[in-house]
Amino acid sequence: MSTNCSHTTEILQSFCYHFNYYIPLCYLPIGLTGNLLNILTFTRPTLRTNSCTIFLLYSSIANLFHLTFGLVTRIVIDQYQYDIETNSIVFCKLKYYIMYTSASLSLYFVLLASINRYYQTKSHSRQWCFSQLFHPSKISLVLTLVNCLIYLHIPVRFRINHSSTRSRLVCYAVETPYRIFIDVYLVITWSLSTPCLMFIFSVRTIRNLQVTEPQRKRKFNRRTSYRKKTDIQLAVMISFQIVIIVCSTLPFGIQKLFSTFYPARTTCHGIVESSILCLTRHLSFTNSTFCFLFYILTARKFRHELISYFQEIFCSRCCERKIFQRIRSTS
């Protein structure tokens, strides 16, 4: 039994080492580049007037913070063998405060975007006007402030202590009651309630589009019809992203909750639990990393605006070069 356990732990440790070594190196450049392109695309003149894209813009900004403080730390620890989390209590508190805050804000902004799509597709004008009363930037600012206040307990309660599953120091909550609280809170808000609300509003949005689309074709002119096509593409894009969010956040929340209520009592159990944590932790970065690819695949309007942005840059560079050549030739 011990021989089988030792052989299994060696395989799992080798797997986790290579997984932690290569995955952050792949995720980080893809995620940073993709979210920067999201920001450039969502700030285009034809999209920045849409309240849904404003929420998606803020979600991409939150993703940048989530990836920077989450994956850069893993690269420093695994590539350079310098555990910056346990060497600085200030960084220990700051990292997890920003990580939890930005990760939750990213999901909340997508939730607000799905709620916005739902009200935009309602056929009743009174409900549609209600969705226009609140400016998305003001809502985003209030949500950010409230979320930052909610997570203020993390800098207070997080400490550097020994792990029950790994034979080294880790940065996490010390007290068992608070550890149970933070894990349950993350599962309820981050892995269950928020994705469920996203799914409900997404389904109702698609239903509204199916019911009211024949009426819109008869009632609206070509310009309004083009705007509604953009709304449909945004609704489909958000719906696809919601599925990815559920698949990426739920396993991590379940693993954290299971490890809290059923801590490892043997070395073999600890290695298995650590391996599962390794998988689910990197899976939780899937939405923040690949949201740009989801938008590219699901929204023609997003692809068009991104291509137009690069075409404008290319044309402006060509014009500047021609003007410079003319100046040189005349001089």
CATH of the domain at 60: 1.20.1070.10
List Cα–Cα distances, 209 to 215, 230, 288, in angstroms. Answer: 10, 12, 28
**Which residues have a Cβ under 8 Å from the Cβ of 145 and sit 6 or more positions away?**
none
Residue 81, sorted as left (phi over 0), alpha (psi -120 to 50) or beta, turns out to be left
pLDDT by residue (tens digit) across 83-108?
A: 787 788 888 889 899 999 999 999 99
pLDDT at 125 over 50: no
What is the C-alpha separation between 83 and 199, in angstroms, rounded?
39
Please, are residues 255 and 277 in contact by the beta-carbon 8 Å criterion? yes
pLDDT at residue 265, as a whole number: 64
What is the C-alpha separation between 267 and 92, in angstroms, rounded?
26
What is the C-alpha separation between 230 and 198, in angstroms, rounded?
19
> Where does the pLDDT of residue 164 fall: very low under 50, low under 70, confident under 90, or very high at 90 and above?
low
E-strand stretches of 55-194: 158-162, 169-173
Q: What percent of the chain has pLDDT over 70?
A: 76
Tell me which residue range forms the domain holding 72: 2-330
pLDDT at 17 over 60: yes
Average pLDDT, the chain: 78
What's the one-letter identity of residue 283? Answer: L
Domain count, the chain: 1
pLDDT by residue (tens digit) across 256-274?
A: 777 777 766 666 666 777 7
